[in-house]
A = this chain, B = another copy of it.
Amino acid sequence: MNSLRRYLPILDWGSRYDRRALSNDMISAVIVTIMLIPQSLAYALLAGLPPEAGIYASIAPIVLYAIFGTSRALAVGPVAVVSLLTASAIGQVAEAGTAGYAVAALTLAFLSGGFLVLLGVFRLGFLANFLSHPVIAGFITASGILIATSQLRHILGVDGHGHTLPQMLSSIIGNLGQINWATVLIGAGATAFLFWVRNNLKPLLNRLGLPPLLADILAKAGPVAAVVATTLVVWGFDLVDRGVKIVGEVPQSLPPLTLPGVSPDLIGALLVPAILISIIGFVESISVAQTLAAKKRQTIDPNQELIGLGAANLGAAFTGGFPVTGGFSRSVVNFDAGSETPAAGIYTAIGLAIAALFLTPLVYFLPKATLAATIIVAVLSLVDLSILKKTWGYSRDDFLAVLSTIVLTLGMGVEIGVASGVVISILLHLYKTSRPHVAEVGLVPGSEHFRNINRHDVATDPSLLSLRVDESLYFINARFLQDLIQSRVTEGSDICHVVLMFSAVNEVDYSALESLEAINLRLKEMGVGFHLSEVKGPVMDRLRASHLIDDLNGTVFLSQYDAIAALTPEVAAIRG
């Protein structure tokens, strides 16, 4: 029963569901539904799909996440970054607007869902750690810039394409002759209005004396107001004849049953993008879920989250959707509106199903420029270049990782950008560990503590070289230590003993073992003792399985102080 509850969290909270939770969940569901209708349409547009795909992607996935997910507040559905990744991935295998394009989107959701479920079942959630904070921050910022730029063409009413910033800009600039002023008026007006709503409406309503909850709901309804107003304008002034592009006919229907593609070529082409989308979507979602859970002292199980998100994506694949994940802004709205359980998600899904059945004719005259405006306003909040300044102040390596992720994402596209970010972070880390910091240490007077002779006023003995190696020893730096000791011991002829202080050595792999054996042999030939101190349990267990300890031309000491006491008798005499 417990393991069933682990895999089906709904059994846990469902059994304790009460009236209070119901009313709180219902209220937040209404607010989220209102917010989600224009967002769903907009992100479908961003992904290059028909508008209904956005609504379908917000129904089954939400219900499935409510069953399998562990977050009480996470709102799942199409989000900006994942929609951009979707457009980039399927743009490479099919033409936007074709049947093949829609199938590719389903296939991508299917592969992504399957991969997430596999990661969850095999408890491989730690793989998300390969994305460092600087890489994520850089990637999200660059994606925000790319997304906003990609929507400019809808605001201007021109054609445009491309998956990198230079491509997008040159394509828009090349098509500036097509500019449609009626569209610009609507698009720029909606953008300005939404920015105003976002920054000024809530304070204004509060000042006017409205109750905070109502002020909040009204402020959240800003996009809906923009949708209604611009739709009426287009309909009333016959702007379609003036060339304003509209959403047009959206089928009145519940989500259809769909099947992802099974052709090996398609799957082969989408596999790597699907893995990327899964991991990025998971990282985005889990950080939102953990932030919100921490505020209520709830816990999130990352591996069960993988299963929840995987189920949501599989649901999207079979109901006409596209890849989804937990969205930041809607989850915060959901949380702030007081949702108590994932049931709020189920009610939201019901709200969207009603919208899909009855409200779609109302968006016929909705201009695409309005949707573009909602996307631009939403994603510009993702753009945060301060991470460049913060990492520059802290560490040049982290700065380099952020900068290259941003530059490569803008210049080479989202997939190359994020993949390069991961590879660059790993290479920088390996490079750092390839040249470890090694400190010569001496005794801090009046203590048994040893510190760097260059930073502290410590006592040393010329016959004894004490080196603290500040890195695990493994293949990347195995030769380094060998070269270092060779150069130190041939330089100073007084040295009778070398003690390696292993307090910071967390691993000794086979390559490093061979290096230590070579050092031992070399020092033995020169008549110099070779000792280790403060070797940690797991490292010692490993070394005992080799010949090094048996052949060691010296002793393994529990502490560096014991080593000094044994090897330099005068120290022992002083301290008793």
Contacts and interface: CB of A to CB of B under 8 A. Distances in A.
A506 B436 contact: yes
A455 to B, nearest CB: 5
A429 interface: yes
A126 B437 contact: no
A537 B394 contact: no
Given A425-B475, A506-B504, A510-B132, A561 B448 contact: yes
28 contacts: A126-B435, A129-B434, A129-B480, A132-B511, A133-B478, A133-B511, A134-B510, A135-B475, A294-B522, A390-B510, A393-B545, A394-B546, A397-B509, A398-B510, A398-B511, A426-B426, A426-B430, A436-B506, A437-B536, A439-B536, A439-B537, A449-B558, A449-B559, A452-B536, A470-B506, A471-B472, A471-B506, A503-B503
Interface of A: 126, 129-135, 294, 390-391, 393-395, 397-398, 425-426, 429-430, 432-437, 439, 444, 447-449, 451-452, 455, 470-472, 474-480, 503-507, 509-511, 513-514, 522, 534, 536-538, 542, 545-546, 558-559, 561-562
A397 B512 CA distance: 13
Contact of A514 (B133, B471, B542): B133
A243 to B, nearest CB: 45
Contacts of A537: 439, 452, 455
A449 B533 CA distance: 12
A509 B452 CA distance: 22
Central interface residue in A129, A475, A480, by most chain B CB within 10 Å: A475
Given A129-B475, A478-B133, A391 B510 contact: yes
Contact of A545 (B394, B474, B534): B394
A478 B290 CA distance: 14
Contacts of A391: 510
A135 B470 CA distance: 25
Number of copies: 2
Contact of A130 (B126, B439, B476, B561): B476
A559 B447 contact: yes
A426 B475 CA distance: 9
A241 to B, nearest CB: 52
Nearest to A454: B537
A132 B478 CA distance: 9
Contacts of A476: 129-130, 429
B129 A477 contact: yes
Given A393-B546, A394-B546, A433-B472, 17 more contacts: A129-B434, A129-B480, A132-B478, A135-B475, A394-B510, A395-B509, A395-B542, A429-B475, A432-B507, A437-B536, A447-B559, A449-B534, A449-B558, A449-B559, A449-B562, A472-B472, A504-B506
A467 to B, nearest CB: 13
A534 B510 CA distance: 28
A441 to B, nearest CB: 10
Nearest to A510: B398
A142 to B, nearest CB: 17
A133 B480 CA distance: 14
A477 B130 CA distance: 9
A130 to B, nearest CB: 7
Contacts of A522: 294
A432 B507 CA distance: 9
A497 B470 CA distance: 27
Nearest to A539: B470
Most buried by B among A133, A426, A455, A534: A133
A566 to B, nearest CB: 14
A52 to B, nearest CB: 38
A132 B470 CA distance: 20
Contacts of A480: 126, 129
A71 to B, nearest CB: 16
